[in-house]
Amino acid sequence: MGHALVGHHLEHTDEVHKISIVSRGQALGYTISLPAEDRYLTTKGTLMDQMAMTLGGRAAEELVFNEVTTGAADDIERITSTAKQMIMRFGMSEKLGPRVLGRNHDMPFLGREMGAEPDYSEEIAKEIDDEIRRVIEEAHDKATTVLREHMQELHRLSAILIERETIDKDQFERLLAGESEESVFPAEEPSPVTEGEPEKDRPIPKPTPRPAFPGATMQSPPPEGAAG
């Protein structure tokens, strides 16, 4: 729910389409966000908001439980990779300027991960580390600020999610708009089988007698020789 709320309240994030606490593989739950339209370029503001949304789960742990768990390991790995690319590849650091730092040795056809051979001094390496840390902390602070401002929503929707296990886009938006849980999740109507008398207790109608011979009626005598 931390991911979903941060993503909903920030401007440059994809729409939340589904939230679930049903486990899938090693994931204890998931939040699905999908873009409203095709995106060919990504701005710095979008990357920062996306990192803040990714850190929403970690920020929620800190605010609600005053503790952190290993559940955000994949999230931290993702935002660290994004921050590195922003500083070392996209030139999005005001301090280091618009330049590429490190010679890439990408070999995706061999299944190898991206690596970068340093082509800078130890002083620049320290500045790179400082900038990566600054970007990550800025995204974390943004996530924390959003959740602090919407703590009531966080607690209310988390309780509903625990009970319902899954919330889709329409339900999520209606709950945030202030609708009650009862109106968003109406009680299921009983099926016709369970209404009134149980099906197993209903009397079974007797079969209608049929004539013994084709074309005959029950009042008609059997054709001659038919008995033989």
- DSSP label at residue 148: H
133 lies in a domain?
A: yes
Q: Which residue has the higher pLDDT, 47 or 23?
A: 47
Q: What is the pLDDT of residues 184-211, one digit of tens each?
A: 998 866 656 555 555 555 555 555 555 5
pLDDT in the model for residue 221: 45
**Count of domains observed in the chain:** 1
195 lies in a domain?
A: no
- Give the angle subtended at the CA of 225 by the CAs of 220 and 226, to the nearest 5°: 60
Q: Is 146 left (phi over 0), alpha (psi -120 to 50) or beta?
A: alpha
Q: What is the DSSP string of 74-113?
A: HHHHHHHHHHHHHHHTS---TTT-S---SEE---GGGTPP
Residue 123 tokens, joined: 């002083």
pLDDT of 38 over the 60 cut:
yes
Q: What is the pLDDT of residues 95-141, one digit of tens each?
A: 999 999 987 645 455 454 555 567 788 999 999 999 999 999 999 99
CATH number at residue 117: 1.20.58.760
- Averaged confidence pLDDT in the chain: 84
140 lies in a domain?
A: yes
> Residue 116 sits in which domain range?
2-184
Query: How far is it, in rounded angstroms, from Cα 164 to Cα 123?
Result: 53
pLDDT in the model for residue 187: 80
Per the CB < 8 A criterion, the answer to whether 157 and 175 are in contact is yes
211 lies in a domain?
A: no
pLDDT in the model for residue 224: 47
Q: What is the pLDDT of residues 59-75, one digit of tens each?
A: 999 999 999 999 999 99
125 lies in a domain?
A: yes
209 lies in a domain?
A: no
HSE-CB for 161 with a 13 A CA cutoff: 24
pLDDT in the model for residue 7: 96
226 lies in a domain?
A: no
Strands (E), the chain: 15-20, 30-34, 103-104, 116-117, 166-168
